[in-house]
Structure 1
Amino acid sequence: MTNMEQIKYAQWQGEYGENNRKNGYWRVIWRGKPLRRVGGYYLNGLKQGIWNELNKNFWILAQIQESGQYFQGQKNGEWIYFFDDKKIGGGSYNQSGQKNGKWIELGDVFYNHSQVTYEGEYKNGKKIGLWDIWFKKHIVGKQNYMIGGGSYDQEDQNKIGKWIELSDGFQEFCQVTCSGEYKNGKRVGQWSIWYKYWETNNNEVIGGGFYDEEGSMKIGRWIELSDEFKCDLQITINGEYNNGKRVGIWQKINIQNNKIYSQINYDK
């Protein structure tokens, strides 16, 4: 488990049977109080029957629960994701415990202001075909609209063709996407970085560059987002790549006023 809030505040409460195996009903205590309708049954240490449990990303701003059935400790059949007591996603597992058929999955950092879902198809645990990325606004209008996506091949779960992806930290007030092409699961050619201004809904290119045609290696001039980039401090870092490595002087620039924020020389 890597979710720090769950590590700190979630406790499973139940009984152990023979050989120190969990047995009977277990429930979740969250911040000292039992969570309503969350829990399920163990039989000789294996989950069995209907379970309501915390999603791996459950925290104070993303109280996501998932509900479905276990058979001998393995997820089976239909599973549903709930957020604010509303169904927001899910799909089915086959007899081998692999995702199969149509699924709606949640973004890795799903929470109130980043309600991102991915909709597409699995075949025996592998993504295939077209996958769409959806985003539901929490404040402005609360509408759900498609913001990206692309296709996977039918064999190796490699991304292929044109894609629009979300940047790390994507949320309602900082909507940054990247668009370009994949070849055999690797980025090739020109990729662009887009920023959507939530106040006006205008979508503008604020960066990007080129990958070589072989192995996702950045080449030539690039404008990237700095680690400090956020909606009220839009800092990019601009410079040159040679064989996938930064070379020469790179400048951090505040694109809101076009002033140099700082710079570093990578040849030193």
Structure 2
Amino acid sequence: MHKSITVAFLLLICNVSFSQTQKVSTKWDNGKIASQGVTLNGFEHGKWEYFDREGRLMQEIEYDRGVANGKITYYYRNGKKQNEGHFSQGIHDGAFFEWYENGNLKSSGQYDFAIKIGSWKQFYENGKLEKEEYFIDGQPRIITAISKNEDTLVFNGKGYYKGFYPNGKLLEEGAINDSLPQGLWIFYFSSGAKKEEGTFTNGLKTGTWTSWFPNGNKRSTINNQNGENCEWFENGVQATQGYIENGKKTGDWSFWNENGTLIKKATYKADKYDGKVITYYQTGIEKSKINFIDGRMHGHALWYFEDGKTDIEGNFADSLQHGHWIYYRTDGDKGNEGDYNKGELDGKWTWYYSGNRMWKTGYYDRGIRVGHWLYLYEDSTKFKEGNYKNGKEHGLWQTWYENGQLNVSGYFKNGLMDSLWSGWYENGQKYYEVNYTDHVLNGESKYWYDNGKLMSEENYKNGQLHGIFKTFQHNGKIIMSGNYANGLKHGEFKYFDQLNEKVALREETWVNDRPNGTWITRHKYGSVESIRNFQNGKKHGLLRFTEPDGTIVYEAQYKNDKLVKTIVDKKDPEKAKDKRRR
């Protein structure tokens, strides 16, 4: 009964170049113009024309920054107009006309922001009037209808209407009174087979309506006001069965799949779930069982695995999880359980390993972790324990190895590591002691090897190394010692022989992370290998390299990182003639 047109833009193969405001044309791969118009900041603007590969005009569209706004016209290949309408920011608005390829008017009407309004007329290809409708609130009322052989079917809103497919087959038929469908109406497939039939009262479907598939099998019997409603699949298997009261679903309804397997049973009240709703797997085993009141989940609810074992069980209050809930593992044991309060985790919750052995347990306050939390290994020995405050770790927290030995112990303050933290090796030896202030290292930190020997000694201030810094070998002998100030090397650094800790193989002096003063390196037996002097990070003063027996192989004077003179150079004696160097 109704005809509509969809605006479809031509797909073009083209290369486009544009600037802020510029005339643009694109071409097909055969060189002919594909489109032309103006762009504004990269968007089509104003009137654009689109052509086919043979150069024939196919579309004219008016744009406002890339959005259809104004008149749009489509053309047949013979150059005659196909349809023409107006758009307001991409929406049909205003007069619309459609023509046959011979130039005769096909339809005309008016849109009000995509909704048909007022009088709409349709014409036969010979130009004769076919039908006039009047739209109110988007719904059509037939004023006039004339058959192809010029018989008047409807006049002044009264008559017996017949609509036809383009192939001449009957599409629909029924009485019109006061411009609205009245009484029995029948609709047909293009093959001539009956598609649907039922009764209209003042344009509204009333009573029982029956529909069929193209193969003749019944599709549905629908009672729009009161009575039983049934639907079938095309293979003849029933799909739904239930009752309508005052136009709304009521009572028990059943739903099947195409194989005839029941997939859902539901109880309705005024089109809303009210009572039990049960769903089923393809095997017929229950999948879920949920209670509803006035369309909202309320009361006990159950979900099942496909083997029939319980998956989830709990309660709803006004469609929010409320009360005790249990989630099960596929082996039938519990996975976790706890309470909800109006959709939020609340109270004690416990998680389990297989065999219902506890994994972890703790408390929530309206979805936020609080209070004591305990984590266990699978053998039920402690893994981790501590407290939460407002969803953040707070107070003493500890972790253990599986053998029961304490692993880590320390304090949190509102989710941040704070105060002393200690760690142990699995053999019980102390691993470290570090101090934090608001999750930042602060104060002394010590680390030990698993044999109990000190590994390192560090000091921090606001997360930066500050103060004494020492490292040690596994046997307890010192490797190096130094000093930091606010994260920068500052003071004396010594690096010791790993076989003889009394020998400092390297001595350095730093000021604010820059070399400063005398630096000395030694051969492994203690004799001096080199002496270098620095000032503010630059070589300044004596620089000397010696053999293990004390023989000088190179000696020079530097000033501000520049060589002043070479005193000794065994590799190049000519340089050592006390000549000043620039």
Larger Rg: 2
Question: With structure 2 as the length reference, what TM-score do the two structures score?
Answer: 0.25
Looking at both structures, which has the greater relative contact order when contacts are Cα pairs under 8 Å and sequence separation is at least 6? 1
